[in-house]
Amino acid sequence: MSESDFSRDPALFVGTNAEWDARKAAATPRGVAVGQAVYAARAANAEIWDVEGRRYIDFGSGIAVLNTGHRHPKVVAAVEAQLKCFTHTAYQVTPYASYVALAESINQLTPGAHAKKTAFFTTGAEAVENAIKIARAATGRPGVIAFSGGFHGRTFMGMALTGKVMPYKRGFGPFPGDVYHAPYPYPLHGVSTADALKAVKGLFKSDIDPQRVAAFIFEPVQGEGGFVPAPADFVQGLRALADEHGILLIADEIQTGFARTGRLFAHESYGVPVDLMTFAKSLAGGLPLSGVCGRADVMDAAEPGGLGGTYAGNPLAVAAALAVLQVIEDEKLVARADSLGQKLKDALLALRPAVPQIAEVRGPGSMVAVEFMHPESGEPDAAFTKRVQGEALQRGLMLLTCGVYGNVIRFLHPLTIEDAVFDEALAILGASLLAAGAN
């Protein structure tokens, strides 16, 4: 059967998960890892059906990409309408009005009353790369300070900024220079705000003159690092250090953005202005689109032609994004993120006496995580975490793990999930936790 046969009829993608997994192993490199060998056939809102016809509730959302669910009707309609007009021109060659309209919306919706400008790209890593380019162009400085546990992408600059070696950095160096790391506050593991800010100041003494630092980059809630929220005094401290030394502050909102945390953007909750912010993931409802928004004077630092990309701001993705912003507003997803997240946290805390491995339940809005530790030793319990994930999958609930120690489950349900499906998922989660504890 030829490749063109598949393109004409997607129904030809039949078989079992095991058969496709064997074909995957033969056809694709092991570096592209698959956490759960469930091959999707179709999806709607918060549900996925695999090639064998089995239904799952999706609490991963394609790693925080589907805040508005799989195939939201308004997003599908917007993409279909654009598809009938054109699919690509390269914005830098032949621009289109929708790109400008989306930039205007982002400028208006992002925190801060200052003048802003926005540029669009394709992936989160690409947005991060461009934010660093812009910061360096605006300051004339090379250095960047990032934080342990942070994740900023798999490109070389993204890997350099990422504060986690496995699986992202091993074997891929050397990395771009003038990138430094300080500890990120993580009270459960004994790192306070004071410790983190002291370490930043220590870098100024031992590794890089603050006058050579272009930017701090931080996640308001660390994603791969374990859904660890940045304390308010930490963000305030970074802003004070940035102002003192002429350093720009970059908020990486790629996983936290577009209503996930009970705010449209997570750093709104701090009341601290940032100079640049990156965003991607849930912006376009499943289509690849990312961007950088920031102070207009900073964004204008790059020379014409210095920013862009062949597919940057693809018109299909831009159409989807305009629909996503409307869905977030119409369906009040910011408020729904809070209500769903609180219900989930309450359910997890109610299980804590029966599941002593639960060390902490945390996270704003619907960016919720549970961290597991050995009840006796207090050490991170990655094995228990994997058992919970496996038990849930057997029962029809897809979960994602994360964390520096691999001992955290993060919950990324679509914010559009039906109440009955959410309740069903919570029941499965409870049963899975209890079963994992019994093993």
Which residues, given as ranges, of the chain have pLDDT below 70? 1-12
Residue ranges, CATH 3.90.1150.10, the chain: 3-68+332-438
Domain with CATH 3.40.640.10 in the chain: 76-330
- Please tell me the predicted confidence (pLDDT) of residue 172: 87
Per-residue pLDDT tens digits for 125-158: 999 999 999 999 999 999 999 999 999 999 999 9
- CB-count exposure of residue 321 (10 Å: 0-12, 13-18, 19+): buried
- Give the rounded distance of the alpha carbon of 25 from its chain centre: 27
CA distance 210 to 201: 9
pLDDT score of 2: 46
pLDDT digits (tens, 9 = 90+) for 192-228: 999 999 999 999 999 999 999 999 999 999 999 999 9
Using CA atoms, how far apart are residues 227 and 238, in angstroms rounded to an integer? 19
**Position 357: which residue type?**
Q
With contact defined as beta carbons under 8 Å apart, do 417 and 45 qualify?
Answer: yes
Which pLDDT score, from 0 to 100, does residue 164 have? 86
pLDDT of the residue at 61 = 96
Q: How confident is the model at residue 3, as a pLDDT?
A: 46
Per-residue pLDDT at 5 = 53
CATH class of 76-330: alpha beta
Buried/exposed code over 178-201 (b: 16+ C-beta within 10 A; e: otherwise): bbbbbbbbbeeeebebebbbebbe
Tell me the three-class secondary structure of the chain, residue by residue. Answer: CCHHHHHHCHHHCCCCHHHHHHHHHHHCCCCCCCCCCCCEEEEEECEEEECCCCEEEECCHHHHCCCCCECCHHHHHHHHHHHCCCCCCCCCCCCCHHHHHHHHHHHHHCCCCCCEEEEEECCHHHHHHHHHHHHHHHHCCCEEEEECCCCCCCCHHHHHHCCCCCCCCCCCCCCCCCEEEECCCEHHHCECHHHHHHHHHHHHHHCCCHHHEEEEEECCEECCCCCEECCHHHHHHHHHHHHHHCCEEEEECCCCCCCCCCCCCHHHHHCCCCCEEEECHHHHCCCCCEEEEEEHHHHCCCCCCCCCCCCCCCHHHHHHHHHHHHHHHHCCHHHHHHHHHHHHHHHHHHHCCCCCCEEEEECCCCCEEEEEECCCCCCECHHHHHHHHHHHHHCCEECEEECCCCCEEEECCCCCCCHHHHHHHHHHHHHHHHHHHHC
Place of tokens 């195939």: 71
Domain 3-68+332-438 belongs in CATH node 3.40.50.300:
no
User: Which token pair is 121?
Assistant: 């790209």
> What per-residue confidence (pLDDT) applies to 368?
98
pLDDT the model gives residue 1:
41
CA dist., res. 304 & res. 309, Å (int): 13
